[in-house]
């Protein structure tokens, strides 16, 4: 289904739009979290408080139309299509790249992490089983972070293009730590979202004059 260039273009557009939406709505979701009992602790971080308090005052109509938990869970629903979009984008790159050996196993770990993460988002915001979904979230986070970091290193060694994708994956852990000092943990997924949105956008543009299914970048390609 994702092997045709037409389908890959659709995934690329989907991933690109969702990356921008996640960047904007993700901050609104963070502000909604700060109004909940669990999220108030985030405002003790100086960098978070510096922007979140004035932003919450400015965007008050968007944050106080219902109970804090309801607002938070409602905005949180946007993460499901976001996770689906970058997971699909990563899968397309995987199919186009046709990895073998160690890289193939790293891909399997990474894609499994993304799939589990998508399931955890569904559990968090679309079901009443929030506590159970949290266990899945922790598992997904470690699997996704570990797999993505190693995959980014593999990409750097094989001179993957565009270069920003492996760098975002390799630096995802420190970027996540920095992001959590400024906004919510949920926005820590942004490096991965943008890594795959950029990768598939570049891949589709580069593949316009190629036969469907050709490898994205050969491990030996140096240009």
Query: Residue 52's CB: how many other CB atoms inside 10 A?
Result: 23
Q: Which of 75-79, 108-112, 207-211 has the lowest mean pLDDT?
A: 207-211
Q: Taking 70 as the threshold, does the pLDDT of residue 212 lie above it?
A: no
Q: Which residues of 19-49 are buried (b: 16+ CB within 10 A; e: fewer)?
A: beebeebbbbbbbbbbbbeebeebeeeeebe
Q: Given this model, what pLDDT does residue 130 score? A: 82
Residues 16-26 have a mean pLDDT of 96
Q: Taking 80 as the threshold, does the pLDDT of residue 46 lie above it?
A: yes
Q: Taking 70 as the threshold, does the pLDDT of residue 219 lie above it?
A: no
Q: Taking 60 as the threshold, does the pLDDT of residue 215 lie above it?
A: no
Q: Taking 90 as the threshold, does the pLDDT of residue 166 lie above it?
A: yes
pLDDT tens digits, 175-204: 999 999 999 888 999 999 999 999 999 999
């Amino acid at each position: 289904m994702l092997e045709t260039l037409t389908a890959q273009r659709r995934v690329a557009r989907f991933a690109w739009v969702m990356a921008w939406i996640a960047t904007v709505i993700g901050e609104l979701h963070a502000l909604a979290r700060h109004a909940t009992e669990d999220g108030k602790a985030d405002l003790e971080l100086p960098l978070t408080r510096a922007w979140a308090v004035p932003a919450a005052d400015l965007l008050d109509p968007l944050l106080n139309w219902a109970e804090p938990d309801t607002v938070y869970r409602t905005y949180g629903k946007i993460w499901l299509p976001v996770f689906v979009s970058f997971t699909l984008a990563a899968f397309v790159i995987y199919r186009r790249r046709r990895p073998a050996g160690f890289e193939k196993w790293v891909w399997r770990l990474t894609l499994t992490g993304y799939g589990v993460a998508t399931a955890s988002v569904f559990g968090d915001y679309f079901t009443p089983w929030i506590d159970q979904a949290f266990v899945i979230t922790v598992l997904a986070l470690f699997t996704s972070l570990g797999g993505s970091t190693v995959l980014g290193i593999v990409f750097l060694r094989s001179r993957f293009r565009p270069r920003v994708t492996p760098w975002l994956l390799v630096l995802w852990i420190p970027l996540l730590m920095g992001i959590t000092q400024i906004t919510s943990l949920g926005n820590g997924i942004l490096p991965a979202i943008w890594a795959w949105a950029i990768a598939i956008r570049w891949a589709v543009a580069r593949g316009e004059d190629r036969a469907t299914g050709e490898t994205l970048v050969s491990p030996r390609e140096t240009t």
